[in-house]
């Protein structure tokens, strides 16, 4: 037997958290507005933020109480009826085709991954690149040998203030 929910619905905890956040946020906000303290702006902002955060609990409460009939859930959770009509046959064929295509694509990605974790291309030559570290003197020497063009000196124009 299915339990009967009255009044607040299934998510009573979310409802009371939302109400508590609203009340606390409103109290903090009103203290910031009407009490003469030097940090009134902090209280106003904090109260507004707490009231805003109560929206999360209101959304949880509302979405937790949405009623969905089992007939509407059939397609979403895989409880598909075995229809004998043409639409059911077409739907089944499309589902099987979609499953085969997605499985084929998924398996092709799995086959191309090596043990090292990178994709491989069959019969592709492997290129090995060696790298060496250079000392600061060698870097300056090589950079001066590579570049013959010298960038002209430019000045920046400024407008008189």
- Residue span of the structural domain in which 38 resides: 12-65
Instruction: Write the pLDDT tens digit of every residue in 115-149.
Output: 445 555 566 666 777 777 767 666 565 555 555 56
Amino acid 23: pLDDT: 98
Amino acid 51: pLDDT: 97
Residue 123 falls inside a structural domain: no
Count CA atoms within 13 Å of residue 123 on its CB side: 0
Residue 150 falls inside a structural domain: no
Residue 20 falls inside a structural domain: yes
Residue 28 falls inside a structural domain: yes
Amino acid 129: pLDDT: 74
Residue range 70-76: mean pLDDT, rounded: 69
User: Would you place residue 17 in the very low, low, confident or very high pLDDT band (cuts 50, 70, 90)?
Assistant: very high
Residue 41 falls inside a structural domain: yes
* Count of domains observed in the chain: 1
Q: CB pairs under 8 A, 24+ apart, for 145-154?
A: none
Amino acid 115: pLDDT: 45
Residue 86 falls inside a structural domain: no
Amino acid 75: pLDDT: 64
Residue 45 falls inside a structural domain: yes
User: Would you place residue 30 in the very low, low, confident or very high pLDDT band (cuts 50, 70, 90)?
Assistant: very high
Beta bridge partners, 31, equal none
Residue 148 falls inside a structural domain: no
Structure tokens at 60: 């949880």
Instruction: Write the pLDDT tens digit of every residue in 37-59.
Output: 999 999 999 999 999 999 999 99
Question: What's the CA gap between 9 and 27, in Å, rounded?
Answer: 27
Instruction: Write the pLDDT tens digit of every residue in 85-117.
Output: 666 777 778 888 888 888 887 777 776 665 445
| Residue 43 near residue 31 (C-beta atoms within 8 A) | yes
């Amino acid at each position: 037997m299915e339990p009967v929910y009255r009044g607040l619905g299934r998510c009573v905890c979310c409802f009371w958290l939302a109400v508590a956040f609203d009340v606390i946020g409103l109290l903090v906000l009103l203290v910031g507005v009407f009490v003469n303290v030097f940090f009134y702006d902090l209280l106003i902002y904090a109260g507004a933020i707490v009231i805003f955060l109560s929206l999360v609990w209101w959304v949880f409460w509302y979405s937790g109480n949405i009623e969905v009939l089992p007939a509407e859930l059939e397609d979403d959770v895989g409880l598909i009826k075995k229809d004998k009509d043409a639409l059911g046959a077409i739907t089944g064929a499309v589902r099987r085709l979609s499953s085969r295509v997605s499985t084929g694509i998924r398996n092709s990605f799995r086959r191309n991954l090596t043990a090292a974790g990178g994709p491989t291309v069959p019969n592709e030559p492997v290129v090995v690149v060696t790298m060496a570290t250079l000392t600061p003197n060698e870097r300056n020497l090589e950079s001066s040998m590579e570049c013959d063009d010298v960038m002209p000196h430019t000045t920046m124009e400024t407008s008189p203030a």
